[in-house]
A and B are shown apart, each in its own frame.
Chain A
Amino acid sequence: MERRLNKVLFLKRALEIIPGGLSWSIIIGLIGLSFLHPVSGAMIIISFDFYWIIRTVYLTTLLVMAHHRLSRQRNEDWLARCRDLPANSGFPELYQVIIFPVYNEGLEVLRPSLAALSDIHYPKDKLVVVMAFEERNAHAHDNALILEEEFSGRFGAYLSTFHPDGLPGESRTKGANATWSAKAVRQFLDERKIAYEQVVISCFDADTCVDKEYFGCLSYHFLTSQKRHQASYQPMPVYNNNIWQAPSFARLVEISSSFCQMIESMRLEKFVTFSSHSMSFKTLVEIDYWPTNMISDDSVIYWKGYLHYNGDYRVIPLYVTVSLDVAYSSNIWRTMLVQYKQKRRWAWGVENFPFVVQGFIKNKNIPLFNKLRRSFHLLESHVTWAVWAVILVVIGPLPIFFGGSFFSQTAIAYNLPKITGLLFKFTLFTSLAWIFLSWTILPPRPKGISWFKHVLLILEWIFVPFIILIIGSAPAIDAQTRLMFAKYMEFNPTLKGNKVL
């Protein structure tokens, strides 16, 4: 028994080391090659530059396609489409449960989320809203009472749950809180004899303001999808809540994050849940809820479904938006730190790799090809995240500087900066598309905000190379290195617009 446990632990540690080890090997290997064999180093860098040009063009095309779908579908009357469904579709019996796990966010964060929810284009009597507080938060009970007083009458049901601190087997994560409240919802549904199949559950970040059509769109896709219970439903996150107030640096990073998510939505075979998402309550119960000891609960829940249904589980993109807060702080340095920590938390999604591969080893029903493909995608995405900016910005010029006099006389030494320059021209070209698209997803300019901010929104894209340096690879390297050395991260909520208590 002990031997088997050691074997499992060894495998887990080995899998934890692989992503960071691979990223560091690539970085150190390329740096070493730039000194020891600069011609080979330059050839690899040119190959990577060329790969990056093609990848950038490809992904920008996907972004344009996703944006086209978003602009076409976000203004549709989804509720009307739900009502047009056949009577046996199940729409009249469908309930929507919305959980807001609250860590220490204050009322100024929670009120707009609930206000947006009470303003949606959907029957409110079918909504069960759960404010999931942490018991350890000193303000939890007071805030719960205030919000209950303000909002409980606006929905079909309104629950406040309080997740006790330090339960066995749990870490201080959002998933643990969400799971606790989902179990309370289960009890609530059992008492009212509501079948789990008739319930869709959404787990939203505390600052999530839903689009008015979100639940109509979600219901329509849920009711019309084949194997509706074997899917998660992913809206497009945009960071519009405070985008006009946020500093350029943070705004750019978050817009880029939104765009990355939109691009991912076009790559269904790789698409994984992120941040606020929805799924069948029946499925949630079957796969034993969100993980209670992992930070990246939003993506792990997808993998739990994937493993439970032997690979027959998918994420359906919903081209409606949920709006979140841009993470920023009082000055540029603190904002950088806040952004860095937030991206590091996202990059901590690398913990999925050992979880998923271990799951694949145990599960004999998923085809080997699918296991290999999904493992490769997961590993490749995290390793690319950790190394791309380092290769482009730091390692790219190294052969020129340290290649020596022999290398400087070669044709490749002359061509390397030219090809790298071409890469940046291409990046600039694609940036124009990104600038235009970012403009179209902006909310209306609030009163008191100068028109000059519109101009600033375009000019600020010149900071992109600078941002790449800070937010590009460093958080991913940091997260992977921590996982390599078993320095496991704890959940820390992101400071959003100075609103955390």
Chain B
Amino acid sequence: MYGFQKIRSCLFYLSLFLFFAGLPFILSFALGYKFNAHSLKFVKTGLIFIKTQPAAAKIYINGKLFSEKSPASIHELLPGTYKVALELANHYPWKAEVEVEAGKTSRVDKVILFPVRPNLQQLNQEKFSSFRIDVEKKIIYYLDQEKKVVYRSNLDANNFEDIASLPDKFAQIDGWEISPDKRKLFIFNQYQINISFFDNQVDYEYPVSPVFLEYRQNKIIDVFWHSDSYHLVVLTDKNVQVVESRQGALPINLVELNRGTPGAFYDVKEDVLYFGDRQRSADGSFYNNLYKLELSANLYLLERLIAQPFGQAKSAQNGEAVE
């Protein structure tokens, strides 16, 4: 037993020695100090932390190649400016001057090394005039104004297919958009809107197809799909309208505009239209106002519910007459 105690004592004092001998070095290292063998002094250094995307880039500091590859930290650098170069095969090199301060970490951690020959891929298999990308559904829509055809493919250009034909008589196309239900699209110019259905998409709500909406008095500036994929929000030079996308539908004027609009954005998720309008001040100069118009069907339901006493709303839900 006492032999074991002697070994234990030795171990204990060895541990004690290791702790007190090692602690100054560990703390010095943690604080960024470096022992200078020439001056026999501790010198406070800094470090550079390097992280690249992709990883495993070669690291050159002041032209010297380090054995570590990114991500890595280069320790014990005396304060000053260093030329850092990062190299990875088949990627453009990254170079910069990095300032190192005593006791601090200089982070070079947002480096993207771009490939020399990026993976460039042609997606379209037919000519087209413009395209739309549905990121959520991972679909690309291509529109060929000349042939009046709409194509579709996935993001890798597989399944490239012809999905809709546009009417020949629609000469100029100023804009187009796919409906939220992905079954149809509108095209428009200053005087008319056309709604065309994708092939194989039968919709009994639309006995006449395609649908044409004519605008003789106003000039169409922009058109948006309502989230119900049935109504269109139309911005003209004189007003903001909403119109059903059926043949012969009459538009409803929601807002009269002063002097045209400097731009508009439609949030289809919330059914909110943001649009600008020019105003004239007293001194005759012009300025813009930005407006928000909420068009959500749920909003109207909510408004009705708030406006009516609870009992009446409930009876309305049950199909009873509401005074």
Contact = CB atoms under 8 A, between A and B. Distances in A.
Interface stretch (B12-20, B113-121, B246-254): B12-20
Given A43-B30, A47-B27, A51-B19, A411 B11 contact: no
Contact of B47 (A58, A69, A414, A416): A414
A36 interface: no
A61 B31 CA distance: 31
Interface residues of B, number: 26
Interface in A26-55: 39, 42-43, 46-47, 50-51, 54-55
Contact of A266 (B4, B29, B45): B4
Given A54-B19, A55-B15, A419-B30, A411 B104 contact: yes
B31 A43 contact: yes
B24 to A, nearest CB: 10
A189 interface: no
A409 interface: yes
B8 A50 contact: no
A69 B45 CA distance: 49
Given A51-B19, A410-B105, A266 B8 contact: yes
Contacts of A411: 30-32, 45-47, 103-105
Q: Would you call the interface of chain B mostly helix, strand, loop, or mixed?
A: helix
B223 to A, nearest CB: 48
B27 A43 contact: yes
A39 B103 CA distance: 11
Contacts of A43: 27, 30-31
Interface size class of A (residues with CB under 8 A): 20 to 34
Given A62-B11, A266-B8, A413 B105 contact: yes
Contact of B23 (A42, A50, A55, A57): A50
A187 interface: no
Nearest to A69: B4
Given A42-B30, A54-B18, A411-B103, A61 B47 contact: no
Contacts of A372: none
B26 interface: yes
Interface in A394-418: 409-416
Contacts of B30: 42-43, 46, 411-412, 415-416, 419
B22 interface: yes
Contacts of B26: 46-47, 50, 419
A267 B8 contact: yes
B105 A57 contact: no
B7 interface: yes
A500 interface: no
B49 interface: yes
Contacts of B4: 65, 69, 266
A268 interface: yes
Given A42-B30, A414-B73, A409 B8 contact: no
Nearest to A411: B32
B5 interface: yes
B49 to A, nearest CB: 6
A265 to B, nearest CB: 10
Interface string A260-299: 0000001110000000000000000000000000000000
B15 A57 contact: yes
A50 B1 CA distance: 30
A406 to B, nearest CB: 9
Which of B11, B23, B30, B32 has most chain A Cβ within 10 Å? B30
A162 to B, nearest CB: 41
Contacts of A61: 11
A43 B23 CA distance: 10
B27 A409 contact: no
Interface string B17-51: 01100110011011110000000000001110100
A50 B105 contact: no
Contacts of A412: 30-32, 103
Contacts of A419: 26, 30
Contacts of B27: 43, 46-47
Given A46-B26, A50-B23, A65 B8 contact: yes
A409 B31 contact: no
Nearest to B22: A50
A69 B4 CA distance: 9
A42 B29 CA distance: 13
B101 to A, nearest CB: 8
A79 to B, nearest CB: 20
Contacts of A62: 8, 11
Interface string B221-254: 0000000000000000000000000000000000
Interface in A407-448: 409-416, 419
A155 to B, nearest CB: 31
Nearest to A422: B26
A59 to B, nearest CB: 9
A482 B174 CA distance: 79
Contact of B103 (A47, A317, A410): A410
Contacts of B73: 414
Nearest to B102: A411
Given A50-B19, A55-B15, A57-B15, A414 B8 contact: no
A47 B24 CA distance: 9
24 contacts: A39-B31, A43-B31, A46-B27, A50-B22, A54-B15, A54-B19, A54-B22, A57-B15, A58-B11, A58-B12, A61-B11, A266-B5, A267-B8, A317-B1, A410-B32, A411-B32, A411-B45, A411-B103, A412-B31, A414-B49, A414-B105, A415-B29, A419-B26, A419-B30
Given A58-B15, A411-B32, A414-B105, 18 more contacts: A43-B27, A43-B31, A47-B23, A47-B26, A50-B22, A54-B15, A58-B11, A61-B11, A62-B8, A62-B11, A65-B4, A266-B5, A410-B104, A411-B103, A411-B104, A412-B30, A412-B103, A414-B47
The 8 closest A-B pairs by CB, nearest first: A411-B32, A415-B30, A414-B105, A58-B15, A412-B30, A409-B104, A54-B15, A54-B19
Interface of A: 39, 42-43, 46-47, 50-51, 54-55, 57-58, 61-62, 65, 69, 266-268, 317, 409-416, 419
